[in-house]
Amino acid sequence: MLLVERFVIIALLTMMSNVESLLAFPPKRQCAQGVFGKGKSSSKHNRRDILQTFMSTLILWPTVKKSCVAYEPDPDPVRESLYLISRVQEATVQQERFVRKASDQSTLKNKMKLTLLLIEKNYKLVDQLTYCSRLIPSDSLVIATEAGNEATEELQSAIDYVRSDLKSGPLGDDQKLFITNALVNTREKLFIYLDYMPQEKLEGARKRIEEENKLNIEEFDGDEDAGVYNPVMLPWKNR
């Protein structure tokens, strides 16, 4: 997915949650071609400028022909997949924070439908697990594959519950517990799966996330136009 689509979702989320928890993007970007027209040169924007640009892009969508930005994947495809899996783990912590703070079903549903969509569409968890499965030692294939399957099922159960079971009115403790358990189980099953991955590549993927998040914190800190940037503790940091 081109990042123009990702930023549209993020711009909508910005209006709803005051940029409470943006998912990090790499600090270096280049112009993408074929979205609003063919870009002529590379363009570097900071995150604040991109957010502001795409807030106006939502209004001018049919006619805008400005340069757009493209995601730069890791040149190592294994490390890239491990990066995306780790981003899913981070996102489950972010979603838990939404649930903990929520008191109304419809408010939580509106917020989580967008963020879960971003997780589902951008990180493509099933694709990453399938690609990395070739690296699992043969004697561990069953247990690792089972953990990966359970992780995707738990994430899907959270998505389905938010879409179908949250209605209106106060958010009950049982509802919070169901969603939280699904998110925690997703994260923990992924930890089991990642135990069977090349640890050097996994550490590289996690280091990239930490560096990107650090850049985001530095860029948003003290910027009154950037809203609230309040990142979570990365889940592998407290294990």
Choose the final residue of a domain: 36, 51, 70.
70
Same domain assignment for residues 22 and 117: no
Residue 86: name the closest of 180, 23, 134 by CA.
Answer: 23
Q: Classify the phi-psi angles of 227: left when phi > 0, otherwise alpha if psi is within -120 to 50, otherwise beta.
A: left
pLDDT in tens, 135-167: 999 999 999 999 999 999 999 999 999 999 999
Name the 3-class secondary structure at 210: helix
Is residue 233, in this structure, part of any structural domain at all?
no
pLDDT in tens, 53-106: 333 333 333 333 334 445 689 999 999 999 999 999 999 999 999 999 999 999
Same domain assignment for residues 107 and 40: no
Torsion angles phi and psi, residue 102, rounded to 5: -80, 150
Same domain assignment for residues 59 and 164: no
Residues 6+ apart with CB under 8 A from 21: 94, 97, 98, 115, 229, 230, 231, 232
Split at pLDDT 50, 70, 90, the class of 41 is very low
Maximum alpha-carbon separation in the chain: 56
Is residue 202, in this structure, part of any structural domain at all?
yes
Same domain assignment for residues 120 and 23: no
Same domain assignment for residues 81 and 189: yes
Is residue 238, in this structure, part of any structural domain at all?
no
Q: Model-level pTM?
A: 0.72
pLDDT in tens, 192-217: 999 999 999 999 999 999 999 998 88
Same domain assignment for residues 144 and 219: yes
Paired tokens of 61: 């969508």
Same domain assignment for residues 190 and 153: yes
Residue 20: name the closest of 216, 160, 237 by CA.
Answer: 216
Choose the final residue of a domain: 54, 70, 86.
70
Domain residues for the domain of 101 are 77-227
Distance CA 74, CA 10 (A): 22
Same domain assignment for residues 57 and 15: yes
The CATH number of whichever domain residue 91 belongs to comes to: 1.20.120.660
Same domain assignment for residues 135 and 215: yes
Same domain assignment for residues 184 and 87: yes
Is residue 124, in this structure, part of any structural domain at all?
yes
Is residue 169, in this structure, part of any structural domain at all?
yes
How many domains would you assign to the chain?
A: 2
